Structure 1
C-alpha cells in the first residue's frame, strides 16, 4: 500500500513539472516575439518620440515576463527537489516492504486486478521452484497453474491435471478463504487467498505437514480408544458376539461367545476363521440349522435364526458389515422360553380369572346402572316433588300475602298495624326460602339450561342500582355502581340472579361504610367485583359460606337462610364461570365473578306496547280467574282497595262471567294452571274473543319453569310469580294503564 501511495505522488509531481516547463516555453516565445518586434518596428509617420514610447513599453513587458520566467524556474527547481525526496522515500518503503515479505516463513504472492503476479517471496518459490523462471515476467495465474500441473507438484495434478487446473483457478477466482493442497512429496500446504481493495488477490501459503501428522496420530489414538470401547461393549453384552473381517478371519469376540460355545481351550486355538466357526457349530455342538452361521457377501439386512445346539435353544443373529466382514451374535433363549411358557400358563390362568371377574363386574355394573337410574329417577322425583310442593305451598302463601296486603291498606290501630307488618315480613321470609329451595333443586337436577348471549353489563348494573339503591340508603350505606362499557357472554337471568345475591348479601352484612359494584377487563375475561366494608370472612370459613344453611356467627342477627351463596356457587358451575373471594375480618370482603368477555353488539330496543283503545284511568273493572277460592278472595279485597270493580271467577264456565264481560273489563288477571287442563293464556285468549277486544291481561303463576316463561313471553303476556308482591302488581297495572 505504501508503494502505491508513493507512485501516485510521483506522477502528480511529474505532471506539475511538465506544466511549468510548458509555461516557460510560452514565456520565452512571447519574449522573443516582443524583442523582434522592437527591432523591426518603424514609425510609419516618422515620429521618433513614438518609437521611444514603444521601446519603454516593450521594455516593461519584457521585464515582467522575465520575472515570471524566473519565478517559474524557481518553482521547477523546488518541485525537482521534492520529487527527488519522494523517489528516495518510495524506494525506502519498497525496500522495507520487500524485506518484510521476505522475512515471512509462509509463502506470499500478490496478484493485480488482471490476475498477474506482482510480487512473491522466496518462501513461495521454495514451495513452487518450477515458477522461479516465470516470476520475473509478471505471469498470469493461469500460466502458473498450468506450469504446476505439468510438474506434478500436487497429488491432484498427478491424478487429473486438467481437472486440478480447473478447480485451482476456480478457487483462486473466488478468493474466499483457506483450502488445503496435498503435495506429491508428502507435505501438506494450506493456501489462504483474499481480495485486496484494488481488486487484486493476495495469497498466503503455509506448510501444515506437522499439523497433519499430529492429526493422524490423534486419529490413531481415537481409533485405538474406539477399539477398546468396542471390546468393552462386546464384553458387557449378555449375548455371545464375534466379528470377522473381509478376509473371513476372526477379529474380535467377547467372553459370552466363549461361554456359549463352550470353548474352554480358548477361542483363537479353535476358531481362527469363519470356516472354523461353521464347522465347530455343526460338528462339535450339533447345530440343527447350519444356515444360521452362513457367510453372506454384500450388504444385507440383519437375519435372526432360531436353532438348537446341545439340546438348548439359541437365536443366532448375523449381519454384514460395510467393511465386507460379518458379525454374529449367539443368544441362549432356553431359560427365556421356559419362562415364557410359564407366563403363558399363568396368563391362561389369569384369563380365566379375568373372565370370571369380568362376569362379576358386568353383573355389578348392571346393578350400578340400575342404582344410577334409580338415583336419577329419585332426583327427578325430588325436583318434581319440590316443584309441586312449591306450587302447593305458594298457593296459600299467595292468598295470605294478598289478605295481609289488603289488610295493611286499611285503617288499623297501631298495635294491629304492627302485627300486620310482622306478618308481612314473615311471609317475605317464607317466600324467599321457598324460592331459594326451588332454584337450588332445579340447578342440582340440571333442569335449568343456560342460554348464552352477549350481555351489556351497564344495563344489568343500572337495574341493580335501581333495585338495591333504596335498601342501601335505608341501611345508611353508600351504594356505588360504576359504569364500565363492557360486554360479557352469559345467561341473562342466571347472571342477574348471581349479582342480586352477591349485592344483597353485601348490603345485608355491612353495618356502615359502602358497597360497590364494578367491572374490569383482563385480556379475554371480565372480572365483576362486589366489594363491601362489612364484617369480613375468616380464611377457614370461606368455603363454608357456599354450603346450604351455613351462616357465620357474626352475621346470625341479620335476616337470611344461608342459601344465597349456595345458589351463586351452583349457578357459576352451570355457567362455567369462576367465583373468587378476598376478605379480611373487620375490613370487608370482595367477591370476584370471572366470565368471558364479549364484543359489543347492536341492540334494537323493542317498542313498548301502547293502549290506544282505552285511556289510563282509575276505578276500572277487572276479571280474575283462579281455581283457588282463597286467592280469589284475597285478590278481590286487594284490588277493591285500589278502586277497581272485581269479578272473581273460577273458570270459563262460571255464571258470573257473563256479567263481567258485559261490564267491559279493563284488565284480565288469570292463574296459569286452572282446572280441566285449562291454562291462563288460553283463558285470556278465550275472554278476548268473547269481549272482541285485546284487553290488557297478565298471568299469575307459581310455575317458575323456563317453558312457561318462554311461552308467555312469546304471547307478550306479562307474568308475576306467586306469592304476588302487591307493589309489583300495582306497578304492572299502572304500566298497563289500568291504574293511575
Structure 2
C-alpha cells in the first residue's frame, strides 16, 4: 500500500510527503530514548524523499512526452481529415463513377456519380458494403437492362466470376437506351477500383455509323450482284427471298422484284416449275429437300434448261446465317461448243482410223523395203569382199616386183584405200545384220585384258602418228559379253576418239560399279554439243564433214546397235572445248571368290574381295611399299605407287582416274605431308577413302587426323588393322552421267 495516492497531483503528493517528514521529525524529538531507531527511520525518510523527488521528475518528463504526443496526434488527425477531404473532393471532380473496395472486398468510399443512374440502389451504397451485396443490388435494379436470354441471377453469377480477373472491362445496358462502361483495376495492396463511364453517346454514334455502313455495303453488294455475269437469288434462314440481281430478270423472268421480296422459296419454285427442265435425274424435289435440310447443307451443282434452247448451270450454297444463295450461269454457248466439238472429235477419229490403216499399209511396205535393203546390202557386201580381198592380194604382191619409189608410194596408198573400203563394207555388213535382227551374239565369260591388250598394240601406232598419247589401263575383271562385238565396240570408240582429237590424249579404263564393270573412253578432243549428242549415233552422220579422215559415220551407229543387242548400257558425257567420255556398262562374271557368291557359313574372317579396285600408295620406303602392295594385290586390287606428294599428284594427272582409296605416309620428306596431300587431292577428288600411315605418336598428328576424319595406321603396320581399312572401302556405284576433271588447267587443248 502506497503512502500517497498516485492519482493526486505532483504538488499534492509533495505536500503529503513534507507533512510526513515533519511528523517523523516530531516523533524523533519526542523519544530520545529511541534515538537509534529514530535515526534509522530518519535515514529511511531521507531515502524515501530522494526516491520521491526522482519519481516526481520522471513523472514530469512523462507528462511532457504525453503532451507532445497528444499535440502531434492532433496534427495527424487534422492532416488525415484534410487528406480525406482532398481525396473526396478529388474523386468528386472525376467525370466517371468511382468506388474503392478494400482487400476484404468491402466498400471504402465512392463518389456521387457511382451508380447514379441506378436510382433504386444509390442509397444502399454505404461504406462497408460487401462486393457480393453490391453485385446483388446491381442485378436487382429495375434500371438494369439484361441481355436476351439471361436472368438476373445468371448476370450476377457471371459478374462475380469476372471479378476474379486481373483486369475487367465490359459494357452494361440500362433502360432508356443508356450504356455504362465498367472497368475494374487492382491496387497494389489487393484492393479493387471500379470506374463507371457513360458511353451512351459513343454507342449511339457507332450504331448510326454502323447503320450507314450497312446501308452503304448493301448498296455496294447490290451493285456488285447486278454486275455479275450470273443470276443470283439470296434467301434468308427462313427461306424467304431477300434479293436478286438484274441478271435474273433476263434469265428466268421471275416476278417483279418488289412483289417477289419476301416470297418463300417453295412458292417461287412452284412458279418456276413449268419453265425449267432438270437434267441428269435431278428434279425440283431434290432442290426442295436440300433447302429444308436441318443440318449443314453441302454445296450442290446441277443443270437446268428453259424453252429447250437455254441451258443454265445452277450452284446452291449455304451461308453462315443458315440462309442460302442460288446462282444461275448461262452455259448455252459452252454446251453448243461442246456438242460441236464432240461431233468434230467423232469426225476426226474416223479420219484418224482411216489414216492409221493407210499408215499401217505404208509401214508394212517400208518394213519390206528395209528388209530387202538389208538383204541386198548383206549380199552386196559379201560379194564385194571377195574381189576386194583378191585386189588386196594382187596389190600386196607388187612391191616385190617394182623398184620405182613413186610407184611404191602409189601402191602403199592403194593398199590403204583398199583397207578403208574393206572396213566400210564390213561396217555396212554389221549394220545390215543388226538392223535385220540376224546378228548372233555369243555371250560368254571373258577377261577384259583379252580385249585391251590387242587393241593397245593395234591403236597405239595410229595415235602416235597423230601425236596423241594413248593410254589403256589394263584390267583383270571378268565380264559377260560377246568377245567379237565387245572388241568392235571398244575399237570403234577408241578409233573415234583418236580421229576427233587433235592434241592431248586418249585414256581407256575400267571402273567397278557394284555388280557391273564400266568401260570408260576419255579424250581431249573438241567435244560434242548437247544438241548433236543424239545425232552422232545415226548412220552416215558426221559433225565435221570436211575432215577427210572422219569416215562415213558408221562406227557409233554400230556401237549403239551392238550395245542394244547385248543389253549393255551406252552413255555419253561431253563438253565442247574440253573433251568427251563414252561409257559402256557390262555385267561382271561372278566367281567363287566373289563376296556375293559366298555361302552363309563362310568364315567371318575371310578377306574382302577387292577385285577391280584401284588404290594409291604414297610411301617413300621401298621395302614397306612393296610389302603393302603385295598384300593389297593378293586380294585382287591394283596399286599405283608414288614416293612423294609431287609424284603422286603428277601420277593422278597422268592416269586421269580417281583412285578408290589412298594410303598416305605422313612423313614424305621435303614437300607436303600426308595430311596436306589429302587436302590437296580432296580439292578435285572429294570423298576418296584415305588412311594415314605413320610412326609419329604426337598429339598434333592425332588431332589432324581427327579433324579430317581419317583413320591413323601406326607403324609397324598391323596386318589386321590394314585389312579392316581395306574392307571398309565402298564399291563404286554405277553412274550414267558424271563430270570428272580431265586435265590440269594448263593442258587444255585450246
**TM-score normalised according to structure 1 size:** 0.48
**TM-score normalised according to structure 2 size:** 0.47
Higher helix share: 1
Higher relative contact order (CA 8 A, sep 6+): 1
